[in-house]
Structure 1
Amino acid sequence: MNSQVGGKATKGEMLLKCQQNLLRQRDAIAYRMKKLAAKQVELTKKTDAVKERIKKKYEDMKRVLDEDLRITLTQLDTEHEATEKLVEDKIEDCYHLTQELDQELANISTEVKTNGSDTQNAERDKRISETLKLTDPDLIQTDDFKNDQLLSLTINLLLFIRSQVPVTKKLFQSYASEVVLDADTAHPKLIISPEGDSVTYTETWQDVPETPSRFDNTLNVISERGFSDGRHYWEVDVSGKTYWELGLTYPSILRKGREEDCWLGRGKESWCVEYFNGDYTAWNGGVKHELPLLAGRQFTRIGVLCSFPGALVCFLGADTMTPLHCFSAGTFTDILHQALCPGHDNEGTNWKSLKICDAKRSPPVL
């Protein structure tokens, strides 16, 4: 009897202990949710603060440029006013002389006689000659050399500003990383250039050794070297292509078989942007993110930024630094490799190669 009672008490204690454990876990999760909400507010405040500071700096730059423009134009206006005043004075001199001549003409009688003495005529002729000489328009000049120098300085300032903007371009270029494609990972229908800087699709199955690292289903190739810290940026020339995929992947991405996890972005191991016949789609973990605002847009280069401190993977149209899509992974759990898929022939429209660009030497955005 006591044993049964003891047994019932033990069961009750177990239920109570289980209940208390569940309550603790629920409280822990509720507290975590509270902390995450606070983190969300903190991140928003931090981002807004950075945006506000940057905005003020741009406003400061605009004020500096506006003030410099005002000073420059005021100086030019002052010089113009001085030259214009000189021209007006010369016109006035000529006007007064013309009035004098008109008066003399009016005083000439109809009788034939000399108009004043020879001395007076000589003095008048001399004064007219001097006036014409002093009022020669070719003698009134602006300082064209100085103005050309001013224009040249303005052009140099514009070129410098253009070389620094977009500022994201300048910043991302400082993160530029060398990318060399690993031919041993390339699908047999892909040709990798000897330098490892381009990949081309061909319908001919290449005579390549079978290796565990080689993709045998999807038209993928990844980079030789990976990275596990810092910030990295790279660009790919996609001009003339109607189908491509590019992004980043852990080395654990599936290489064999027909599972969709072999495709870039279809598993949690990779992130990619896909372009097909004018439409852009971002992928990660099998989740499809359609990008309708980009439909029909064509870019010569696509840039990819990876930031380990922020666990970010960002894609952009490098021509104009147009954001395409950005993933936040929270934390990267392995090294990352760059990944490319040039796509199939797409009814004869997609034979061009995907080529790795030197991101540090990207054409300036005008």
Structure 2
Amino acid sequence: MTVITPLCHSSDTLEKHQECLKKQREAVKYRLKKLAARQSEIAKKSSVIRESIIRKYQEIQAVLDEDLRITLSHLEMEERAAISALDGLMEKNCSLIQEIEQDLARLSVTLDQTDTEPDTMVIKLDVARVVDLLNRTDPISVSLDEVKADQILSLTNNMLLLICSQTPIIKNLIKSYSSEVCLDPETAHPKLIISPKGDSATYTNTWQQLPDLPGRFDTTLNVISLQGYSFGRHYWEIDVTGKTYWELGVTYPTIPRKGTTEDCWLGRGDESWCVEFFDGEYTAWHGGVPHQLPFTRRFCQIGVLCNFPAGLVTFFEADKMTPLFSFCAGTFTDCLHLALCPGHDHNGTNSKPIVICNAQSRTSDFGLVAPQKSI
């Protein structure tokens, strides 16, 4: 006997599957809605922060403008007083000239009418009158308060120095996140020479006889820091002066280190983020995706900021803190290490080391995790 499976059983299964798919669709739609709401929330928060900062800068400018107005009004008042005083002295001199002209006219008439000698007493009085006026109208008697002016200039210069010491504000803020690191020689490719202090890596064409440790890069010219960080904000500056090729960034300790797999290169896999300088061009890398950067000038120092709360890795031109590129990872899934690649020497054009510019150590309370010697 042939048993026929009821169609209702198959229909029930399909209906359940259909209902499951509908629930999944609704869950994804709800997540999409939440993501859009979060996007809008972040945009609004960013706008509020931006407007608040703009207002503060405007308030600073208003304070400076008002102080400048008051200072100039004082100087203008003193200038007007001095000019007015000189006008008065000049008027007295003009009046005396008119009197002398009148006396000369009268004397000329008298001389024409008589041959007698003029009254010597009158002449003596005229001379005394002139001497007295000249003494009372000495230009040196009227002057600006130059000592006060010098004090104003000194105070404004001090204000300028203070402002310069506090700006760029972002530079001072980011530098406050500086964390000291040193390179782990046990991770360095055998063609890299790591300085005794662990603050520089130099390419050598000689393959050094080093232990083939599990954590050592054997193909890519990489080295990572001994220290790793799991939370907080951390900033490093790397000196790349005189180099024509380099790569630098941050990486999880799980980055592949053996063989020719592309993920061993910084930024080519999901474990690392980097900026590369090669052949005069800057490129940001993560997950194997290149981002060409619109810069042509050869920078001397590159800043790297790792921001765990925001899930950001940001690269800067360190002198003026000009942002080069920022990666948003959302949430980091592991601790991060500084990673460097000084590159080949390129026939001597890239022989200089890549150097970490360490700041005073602040790592004890800022997410430092135990050094990891290998993956």
TM-score, normalised on structure 2? 0.91
CA displacement 1:98-138 (0-9 Å, x = unmatched): 222222222222455444341x3333222211221222222
Residue 11 of structure 1 and its aligned partner are, at CA, apart by 2.7
Greater Cα shift, 17-26 or 103-112: 103-112
The letter for the 2-side match of 1:15 is L
3-state SS, counterpart of residue 229 of structure 1: coil
Residue 358 of structure 1 and its aligned partner are, at CA, apart by 3.9
The letter for the 2-side match of 1:24 is K
The letter for the 1-side match of 2:83 is E
Cα distance between partner residues in 2 of 1:115 and 1:57: 80
In the other structure, the counterpart of 2:166 is 164
In the other structure, the counterpart of 2:19 is 20
1:254 aligns to 2:253 (yes or no): no
Query: Retained in 2: the 8 A contact 1:233–1:359?
Result: no
Query: Retained in 2: the 8 A contact 1:198–1:356?
Result: yes
The letter for the 2-side match of 1:312 is L
CA displacement 1:161-211 (0-9 Å, x = unmatched): 111111111110111111211111111111111111111112122233221
Percent identity, aligned pairs only, is: 54
3-state SS, counterpart of residue 181 of structure 2: coil
Query: Retained in 2: the 8 A contact 1:179–1:223?
Result: yes
Pairing of 1:273-352 with structure 2 (within 5 A)? 273-291=275-293, 293-294=294-295, 296-352=296-352
Cα distance between partner residues in 2 of 1:169 and 1:73: 33
Pairing of 1:222-241 with structure 2 (within 5 A)? 222-241=224-243
Query: Retained in 1: the 8 A contact 2:315–2:325?
Result: yes
Distance 1:176 1:211, change over 3 A: same
CA displacement 1:313-351 (0-9 Å, x = unmatched): 011111111111100001100000001111111242211
Cα distance between partner residues in 1 of 2:71 and 2:170: 30
Q: Which of 116, 119, 130 is 1:116 aligned to?
A: 119
In the other structure, the counterpart of 1:212 is 214
Cα distance between partner residues in 1 of 2:279 and 2:177: 31
Cα distance between partner residues in 2 of 1:18 and 1:144: 92
Distance 1:136 1:23, change over 3 A: same
In the other structure, the counterpart of 1:86 is 85
Cα distance between partner residues in 2 of 1:233 and 1:73: 43
Greater Cα shift, 122-131 or 232-241: 122-131
1:39 aligns to 2:42 (yes or no): no
Cα distance between partner residues in 2 of 1:281 and 1:139: 69
3-state SS, counterpart of residue 241 of structure 1: coil
Query: Retained in 2: the 8 A contact 1:253–1:270?
Result: yes
Query: Retained in 2: the 8 A contact 1:233–1:305?
Result: yes
The letter for the 2-side match of 1:25 is Q
Residue 230 of structure 1 and its aligned partner are, at CA, apart by 0.5
Pairing of 1:117-136 with structure 2 (within 5 A)? 117-118=120-121, 120-136=122-138
In the other structure, the counterpart of 1:152 is 154
3-state SS, counterpart of residue 215 of structure 2: coil
Residue 354 of structure 1 and its aligned partner are, at CA, apart by 1.4
Residue 2 of structure 1 and its aligned partner are, at CA, apart by 11
CA displacement 1:238-260 (0-9 Å, x = unmatched): 22111111100000001111111
Question: Which ranges of structure 1 fall in alignment gaps of 5 or more residues?
Answer: 361-366
3-state SS, counterpart of residue 4 of structure 1: coil
Distance 1:151 1:200, change over 3 A: same
In the other structure, the counterpart of 1:77 is 76
CA displacement 1:35-91 (0-9 Å, x = unmatched): 111111111111111111111111111111111111111111111111111122121
The size of the alignment, in residue pairs, is 357
Distance 1:122 1:358, change over 3 A: farther
Query: Retained in 1: the 8 A contact 2:181–2:358?
Result: no
CA displacement 1:244-285 (0-9 Å, x = unmatched): 111000000011111110000000000000111221100001
Cα distance between partner residues in 1 of 2:307 and 2:178: 12
CA displacement 1:8-27 (0-9 Å, x = unmatched): 43332222211111111111
Distance 1:112 1:243, change over 3 A: farther
Cα distance between partner residues in 2 of 1:358 and 1:94: 72
Cα distance between partner residues in 2 of 1:185 and 1:344: 17
Residue 143 of structure 1 and its aligned partner are, at CA, apart by 1.5
Cα distance between partner residues in 2 of 1:86 and 1:277: 70
In the other structure, the counterpart of 1:265 is 267
Cα distance between partner residues in 2 of 1:112 and 1:271: 112
Cα distance between partner residues in 1 of 2:268 and 2:51: 37
Cα distance between partner residues in 1 of 2:199 and 2:118: 96
Query: Retained in 2: the 8 A contact 1:192–1:198?
Result: yes
Question: Which ranges of structure 2 fall in alignment gaps of 5 or more residues?
Answer: 361-375
